[in-house]
Amino acid sequence: MFVLRRHELIKTANITHVISVLRLPLDKALFVNFKHLVIEVDDVDDENLIESFATSNKFIDDALESGGNVLIHW
């Protein structure tokens, strides 16, 4: 999540929303300036990501409709 500390890069890219796709403790302070969605999954071959598509797609659509951009990290 080092990219969230690069404030000029985030500002230039107009990042307003962040999706975290992982199962790790996160430093919540990094996300105070963003709308944030956490999709908790394990990094294994048989993880079912499809069940998260409706939620993540809505989150992305809402971000884009509001004029923002989304950073997705895993």
- Residue-level pLDDT, tens digit, the chain, 74 residues: 577 778 888 889 999 999 999 887 788 878 888 999 999 998 899 999 999 999 999 999 999 999 999 999 88
Helix (H) or strand (E) holding 49: none
pTM of the model: 0.86
Give me the pLDDT at residue 4, please.
73
Give me the pLDDT at residue 1, please.
57
Full DSSP string of 8-72: HHHHHTTEEEEEEES-S---GGGGTTSEEEEE---SSTT---GGGHHHHHHHHHHHHHTT-EEEE
Query: Does CATH place domain 2-73 in 3.90.190.10?
Result: yes
For residue 65, give the amino acid letter: E
Domains of the chain by residue range: 2-73
Give me the pLDDT at residue 71, please.
93
